[in-house]
Amino acid sequence: MRYAVIRFGGSNCDLDTVHVLDEVLGVPTDLVWYRDGLQREYDAVILPGGFSYGDYLRAGAIAARTPIMGDVLRHARKGGLVLGICNGAQIAAESGLVPGVFTRNEVPRFVCRPTWLRVESTESPFTSLFRRGEVIRVPVAHGEGRFVAPPDVVGRLNRERRVAFRYCDDEGRVTPEANPNGSVEGIAGVFGENRNVLVMMPHPERSSELVIGSEDGRRIFESMIAHCQNDIQRQV
């Protein structure tokens, strides 16, 4: 099993993500400079948080058009896992891996705080180790995290159970007060069409060790690892 974390110019959560995967969870992980492209097969590719290209034009817009994203799309089409976190989620949405867009927060300021998330679907390689409806604590840090999509697209995401997480209060109620950025229906994370892509604004790599406040986010990575191990066993 081998994972890749892609570093764009301006990524800044790349090393935290490698740390969690490699040192906390023991998954051999390559830090891949975007200009080098994906040189080999990976079980999972992670697009980390940060400010690729200084958020010029729109957050994620320019990174989404770099050649390495062609490699990432091919990897996803073959069924490989892709996790986009924060700026990585913006890049993934801009490249069409999921519908919709993450844009300027409703109140135009940078929000950086812990949030509660309700796990909406456990039927995915990213959320299989959660209970449906479970409330977890994962922090956000973004200025452009408001999920926007046309009503028919939101309807389809709901019907296909492709909403992974919603912002909620500590008892799991999805309320406007619990919504840090004005995302439609409190959507914090969505799956791609085949559920092998998850994009989310909250940072699971910042909630993977108790020493920094929460380890709820770690189960996303652990779910991915369990999925990949099953895959490997099936191949043997």
Partner 1 sequence: MRFDVKITIALKEGMLDPEARAIQNALAHLGVPTLSLSTARQFSIGIDAMDREQAEATARAICERLLANPVIHRYDIEVA
Rule CB under 8 A: say whether 108 interacts with partner 1: yes
| Residue 36 exposure: Cα atoms within 13 Å on the Cβ side | 12
Residue 160 CB partners (closer than 8 Å, separation 6+): none
> Interface with partner 1 includes 67 (CB under 8 A)?
no
Residue 228 annotated in active site: no
Residue choice 16, 30, 43, 94 for contact with partner 1 (CB under 8 A): 94
180: phi > 0 → left, psi -120 to 50 → alpha, else beta; which? alpha
Which candidate in 86, 94, 120, 227 is catalytic? Answer: 86
The answer to whether 64 and 95 have CB atoms below 8 angstroms apart is yes
Q: Which of 107, 112, 212, 232 binds partner 1 (CB under 8 A)?
A: 107
Measured from the CB atom, the residue of 100 and 202 that comes closer to partner 1 is 100
Q: Does 110 bind partner 1 (CB under 8 A)?
A: no
Does 100 bind partner 1 (CB under 8 A)? Our answer is: yes
Count of chain residues binding partner 1 (CB under 8 A): 20
Residue from 131, 133, 134, 129 nearest 229 by CA: 129
Mark 136-155 with x for binding to partner 1 (rule: CB under 8 A) and - for no binding. Answer: ----------x-xxx-----
Catalytic residue among 94, 120, 144, 205: 205
Q: Nearer to partner 1 by C-beta: 136 or 140?
A: 140
Which residue in the list 120, 203, 227, 228 is annotated as catalytic? 203
Nearest-approach distance from CB 150 to partner 1, in angstroms: 7
Q: Would you count residue 26 as binding partner 1 (CB under 8 A)?
A: no
Nearest distance from C-beta of residue 28 to partner 1, angstroms: 35
41 is catalytic: no
Q: Is 22 in the site for partner 1 (CB under 8 A)?
A: no
134 binds partner 1 (CB under 8 A): no
Note whether 106 binds partner 1 by CB under 8 A. yes
> 10, 46 in Cβ contact below 8 A?
no
| Interface residue list for partner 1 (CB under 8 A) | 57-58, 61-62, 65, 94, 99-101, 103-108, 146, 148-150, 182
Catalytic residue IDs? 86, 203, 205
